[in-house]
Structure 1
Amino acid sequence: MTGASGLEIFWWAVIPYVAIAIFVVGHIWRYRYDQFGWTTRSTELQEKRWLRWGGPIFHYATFLAIAGHVIGILIPASWTRAIGISEPVYRWFSASAGTVAVVGVLVGIAILAGRRILVARVRATTSPVDWFILIVLLIEVVFGLVMTTGINLLGSGYNYRTTVSVWFRSLFAGDPNVHAIASAPVLYQIHVSVAWLIIAAWPFTRLVHAWSAPVWYMWRPFVVYRSRRASRPTEPGTSGRRWRRIGVPY
């Protein structure tokens, strides 16, 4: 961090660690003191048609976007070159897949946000925190769309793995490379800054349900379902009586 200004050190070295600390401590606090609130607060009973489309689109596209970020940020460019993937090929593939993911996330957010705005019963259950995280996610996705589609797919492209990725990995090494992120374009800096805001706010929103995925369903016993069709109970004996004296065998 030699030669970096005080603002750069605060923005790119201090804030990330503060956001990570809030993320970890906030989840521990929420789990210990608000387990009944650790939920999506599902509004499926209020409205199902929009949710049936918006929920899956948003979640599957988000999984794809997260996978793209993991590959692009955590895996060094030297690793992909070592297996024969050149930078132009990587950029085209990541931009194409990223465009699909970010468009999907944007469509999902639009459906879910429109549902909360237009359906009165859902709107009544929406808290200020819900609106805050929706707006912040929308801002993040719009910037992601501009960078992924506008710059890397349709534009001249930008190799963020030489700046943003280097800085991000250096955070976990305990030696933040402030110069790397400070030299990145402003759009990428804003995108990263909004991401830290989402991480810091995560424990206090509905996003905590991401850690409660029912993975155990994969190895739980089979569930036996009973028919709703009414049927006469099986009577003991052959006499047809609906009662019997206590102590008398069937």
Structure 2
Amino acid sequence: MNALIWIVLPYACLAVFTAGHVWRWRHDQFGWTTHTSQLLENRLLRLGSPLFHLGAFGVIGGHAMGLLIPASWTAAVGVSEHTYHLVSVTGGTITGIMLVVGLALLIARRFVNGRIRRVTTTMDKILYAALAAMVVLGMSGTVVINLFGDGYDYRETIAVWFRGIFWFQPDPSLMSGAPLVFQLHAIGGFLFLALWPFTRLVHVWSAPLAYLWRPYVVYRGRRTPAPAPQPAPAAVRDTAQPTADADTHGQQAVTTRS
């Protein structure tokens, strides 16, 4: 059972994550978007979206540092375990609170506003439920165990197992002694990766990063009066038509008198 959960499941989820993105790009490019509902409601979105995204960036960055950077590397540069623990718990708590508040506002927006609720799809509901579960498990491990509890050094067990997945040498025994909340968080993380390509989260890979180095657009004021707007072609035709008809009738009248 340990091998199934801690070896087979991660690789299966990573395979679905990769193949799902390829399938989505080839068969649903028009759906590769945020499906924004800003035009329907902007008040809660304007507050919840920045909190959620900033909190998510902080949480993802904290996970990357904790799981990918070995403890020996931070010790080699003079960062003690106590300092690392203090920084990681403080930063994780702050960014986690931002993520919780932002996600709560986005979920409330979906169900309180009738117009937003009508355009919320089944996959949106599954996505928000998965996000909420991940956030609850993550905050439980950070706050309940590491902040107010006895603490757990995941860098010696979970992080080593996680890095072993990418070296094709995962050791399931490292996860057997981890607290249940950390185990559920790890399983939920890989299941969330399998869900990713079938949700609106695919827009992450199409983020307009070029805006960061795009040159400024310079607007100059007009010193002379603006020219009169040119009439539309349809208006010109409508104006010219009665004149042409009058000229035709005039020619016919001259011909008759002759």
Q: TM-score range by the shorter chain?
A: 0.7 to 0.9
* Greater Rg over alpha carbons, structure: 2
**1:226 Cα offset (Å):** 9.3
AA aligned to 1:134 is Y
TM-score normalised per structure 1: 0.87
Partner of 1:133: 127
CA distance in 1, matches of 2:74, 2:218: 48
Residue ranges of structure 1 left out of the alignment (5+ in a row): 1-6, 237-241, 243-250
Q: After superposition, where does 1:108-119 map in structure 2 within 5 Å?
A: 108-119=102-113
TM-score normalised by L of structure 2 = 0.84
Q: Determine which structure has the larger helix proportion and give its number.
A: 2
Shift of 1:22: 0.6
Match of 2:166 in 1: 172
Identify the match of residue 200 of structure 1 among 194, 198, 206.
194
Residue 247 of structure 1 corresponds to none
Deviations 1:28-74 (A, max 9, x none): 11111111100110000000000000000000010000110011000
Q: Tell whether the 8 Å contact from 1:92 to 1:152 is kept in structure 2 after alignment.
A: no
Match of 2:139 in 1: 145
Counterpart residue number, 1:42: 36
**Aligned counterpart, 1:32:** 26
**CA-CA distance at 1:220 after TM superposition:** 3.1
**Letter in structure 2 aligned against 1:42:** T
Match of 2:76 in 1: 82
Aligned to 2:211: 217
Does residue 151 of structure 2 align to residue 157 of structure 1? yes
1:66 to 54, 60, 67: 60
Residue-by-residue CA offset, 1:56-107 (whole Å, 9 max, x unaligned): 0000010000110011000001111111112122111101100011111111
Equivalent position amino acid for 1:115 in 2: R
Per-residue CA deviation, residues 127-178 of structure 1 (Å, 9 max, x unaligned), is: 0110111011111101111111111112211100111101000001111111
C-alpha change, 1:235 and 1:132, in structure 2 (3 Å) is closer
Letter aligned with residue 148 of structure 2: L
Are 2:48 and 1:15 equivalent residues in the alignment?
no
- Within 5 Å, which residues of 2 pair with 1:233-248? 233-234=227-228
Q: Does 1:56 align with 2:50?
A: yes
Q: From the superposition, tell whether residues 50 and 73 of structure 1 become closer, same or farther in structure 2 (CA, over 3 Å).
A: same
What corresponds to 2:253 in structure 1? none
Residues in 1 aligned to 2:179 and 2:74: alpha-carbon distance in whole angstroms: 23
1 CA distance for matches of 2:180 and 2:229?
79
Instruction: Classify 1:114/1:235 alpha carbon distance in 2 versus 1 (closer, same or farther; 3 Å).
Output: closer
Shift in alpha-carbon separation, 1:172–1:152, aligned structure 2, 3 A: same
Output the CA distance in 2 between the equivalents of 1:161 and 1:137. 24
1:232–1:81: structure 2 CA closer, same or farther, 3 Å change rule?
closer
* Secondary structure of 1:140's aligned partner: helix
